[in-house]
Amino acid sequence: MIALLAGLAGGLIGGTVTAWVVLTVVRREAERHWRREVDDLEQRAERQIEALGHEVEERVKRGVVEGVAALPSAETLRSTRSAAVRAAGEIVGEGLSGLLRGPGNKRKR
């Protein structure tokens, strides 16, 4: 009977040790596999981010160049400014004329 118990105990201990060894080996291999997968994903993500960064940079440069090219010329800006100054002068002049004439002296048009 003791021999039977000793055999069962030995089998349990041997099975437990074997299971522990197998689980340890499987866990280590799984960690190596997933580490390689994660490293690969990180590298691909970095390449994608770099490519996206270059694309954004090119589009911004193109937008700035197109925006600067679309700016009006100096002559156009001068004539627009002159027209705005004339219009403002006329508005101020009409307002001052109305104030100086008084309420009873309306200007006929």
pLDDT tops 80 at residue 103? no
* Residue 68 is assigned to a structural domain of this protein: yes
Residue 32: the pLDDT is 92
109 domain residue, yes or no: no
- What span, in angstroms and rounded, lies between the C-alpha atoms of 42 and 49? 10
Specify the 3-state DSSP secondary structure of 102.
Answer: coil
Domain membership of residue 78 (yes or no) is yes
Whether residue 107 is predicted with pLDDT greater than 60 in this model: the reply is no
Residue 40 lies in a domain: yes
- Confidence band, pLDDT 50/70/90 cuts, at residue 65: confident
User: Is residue 104 a part of any domain in this protein?
Assistant: no
Q: Which sign does the torsion angle of CA 23, 29, 35, 38 carry?
A: negative
Domain of 9? 2-94
pLDDT for 29 = 93
Q: What is the pLDDT of residue 26?
A: 93
Structurally, the chain folds into a number of domains equal to: 1
